[in-house]
Amino acid sequence: MILLGLFWLVPTLGLLVVSCCDEPGQTSAEGWWTIFTKPAELTIQNYANSAGQRVQRRPSGTRSLITVPTTILVIGISAMAAYAFAVDGLPRPGRGVPRGRRAADRATSRSR
Q: How far is CA 66 from the centre of its chain?
A: 16
| Other beta carbons within 10 Å of 19 | 13
What predicted TM-score, i.e. pTM, was given to this entire model? 0.41
pLDDT at 104: 58
- Please list the rounded mean pLDDT of every run of 10 residues in the chain (112 residues): 87 84 70 75 77 67 88 95 77 60 56 53
pLDDT at 93: 65
pLDDT at 68: 93
Rounded to 5 degrees, φ, ψ at 97 are -95, 130
Domain ranges in the chain? 1-52, 55-90
